[in-house]
Structure 1
Amino acid sequence: MDPKTGNALTKALTVLEAAVAGPGPRRFADICADAGVPKASVHRILSTLVELGFVAAEGGGSYRAGIRMFALAEEVKAAGAGGVGEVLTRLSAEVRQTVHFALRSGDHAVYVQKVEGDRPYRMASRVGMRLPLHSTAIGKCVLAHLPPDELAAVLAAAGLPARTPATLTSSGLLAAELAGIRERGYAVDDEENETAIRCLGAPVFDRAGHVAGGVSVSTVAPLLSREELLSFVPALRAAASAVTNLLH
């Protein structure tokens, strides 16, 4: 749904997401740009969010997550610790790689949980980070399972910008890729979103059977071949199925 034409709740949630999307304070102009909501509406919504404690105002017209947002995040984290978090932890222990769970939010996805792998390196990803749909494994899983009209609307809004030389920027190539994902049940991001990072993703569905997001295994490309990554497909699909069951 386009936040410019959405209802008041859609606009408020979009502004909230944009305001807390970074590791540090966010400028008003950046929040407006990311939210795609008129400046007057953003200002009004931010004032309410600050008053409620979900957003805190910083000096110089910047904003960051407020204390109530941190409290809510801790509650969500605790609620998932024995469910989705447990599934992700088991998967990470089995494959010894970093595992993510992301949910779709409009024309992108957002990491909601992350479990670091048993490796000497750490992924730069973080909970709350926004993901393009066309260039990531989880994102392509989402696109592959959208109805045709919704898929067209998402791609029209987000486009197919090149993130790396390997990004699929042709609608024809992407369509063929999505058809393959639907057939095999998983997606591969082979340095398409970030150079030297290779990911494997499987879709997760809500209780209505609609694609909600996905689970992924991420690794450093020079240290793990594509073939080795694909050996994780059975474990990944089992984990994604378990998360789907939890969402039901």
Structure 2
Amino acid sequence: MSNVTTVQSVDRAIYILEKLKENPNGLGITELSVTLGVSKSTVHRLLMSLFKAGFVKQDPLTDKYQLGLKCLELGDVVSENLDVRKNASPLLNELSFKTGETVHLVVMELNEMVYIDKVESPETIRMYSRVGKRAPMHCTGVGKVFLAHLPIDEVEKIITEKSMRKFTENTLITKEDLYAQLDIIRNRGYAIDDQEHELGVKCAAAPIMDSRGTIIAAISVSTPIMRLDSNKFNYIISEVLAYSQKISESLGSFLTFN
């Protein structure tokens, strides 16, 4: 199949989903064929692909097609990400004020970490980061927090797909070392990135849970090691845990992380 044909099929599939959104009672193959301006066989092929993926369903009484539960699932993910950012925003500011360091709110997308909010440190020396930036999972605090709360088969899949690239001398590059650290993270409730992704930067991260006890985001406090001593970093850890709990509670979680 050529690239042009593939793009055309994707465009038509999106168009079908848009039309089904506008017609909650459903549409039949003939109606979609006329609206789309293509043959019934083409519409049927596209619908079958969407049906197998769960994006559409067929009413057994009318034979008409409607949006499937997969669309609801995707909508829930988007809604959760919007909710967690809205609920977390004032607390992220508090956490940055109390620690004097940069705070990030991060979610997982396509087996990577994506920064969806940030509060900059008031200090002159800061780390480079931006909302929308992507980062690997195996060598970041937020990434390891997520991995610690995922099923082992999913962790295996992520490691296989993304590999364990070495960024610094501190980066974990074997599954055995990573799994041992994930056990520690699960037990203590937080993760540390000790110059594993970027030299000179250390961070502490903790999970954000929803009402079902599922991890949906993570927060971290990052700081240049030149500003750290053991007392300050222990304080940062305690505050990260406290604020991850507060944000989770604002989303309906009743879990105690530590």
TM-score after normalising by structure 2: 0.65
Preserved CA contact (<8 Å) 2:126 2:223: no
Preserved CA contact (<8 Å) 2:126 2:224: no
The 5 Å alignment of 1:1-248 reads 43=7, 80=85, 83-225=87-229, 227-248=231-252
Q: Distance in 1 between matches of 2:215 and 2:89?
A: 19
Q: Percent of aligned pairs with the same residue?
A: 32
Q: Distance in 2 between matches of 1:78 and 1:204?
A: 12
Counterpart residue identity of residue 136, structure 1: T
Structure showing greater radius of gyration is: 2
Report Cα offsets for 1:74-104 as digits up to 9, x if no partner. xx989945x3110100011111100001011
Preserved CA contact (<8 Å) 2:85 2:116: no
- CA shift, 1:200, in A, is 0.6
Report Cα offsets for 1:91-121 as digits up to 9, x if no partner. 1111110000101113111111100122112
Preserved CA contact (<8 Å) 2:148 2:183: yes
TM-score after normalising by structure 1: 0.67
After superposition, the CA RMSD in angstroms is 2.8
Label 1:161 to 1:89 Cα distance change in 2 as closer, same or farther (>3 A).
same
- CA shift, 1:213, in A, is 2.3
Q: Which secondary structure does the structure 2 equivalent of 1:163 belong to?
A: coil
- CA shift, 1:230, in A, is 2.4
Counterpart residue identity of residue 147, structure 1: P
Preserved CA contact (<8 Å) 2:85 2:105: no
Q: Distance in 1 between matches of 2:168 and 2:3?
A: 32
Preserved CA contact (<8 Å) 1:135 1:168: yes
Runs (5+) with no aligned partner, structure 1: 1-37, 49-75
Label 1:92 to 1:156 Cα distance change in 2 as closer, same or farther (>3 A).
same
Preserved CA contact (<8 Å) 1:109 1:132: yes
Q: Distance in 2 between matches of 1:163 and 1:178?
A: 19
Counterpart residue identity of residue 180, structure 2: A
Report Cα offsets for 1:210-237 as digits up to 9, x if no partner. 2222100000112213552122222111
Runs (5+) with no aligned partner, structure 2: 15-80, 253-258
Report Cα offsets for 1:171-207 as digits up to 9, x if no partner. 1111110000001111110000011111110111223
Preserved CA contact (<8 Å) 1:202 1:216: yes
Q: Which secondary structure does the structure 1 equivalent of 2:129 belong to?
A: coil
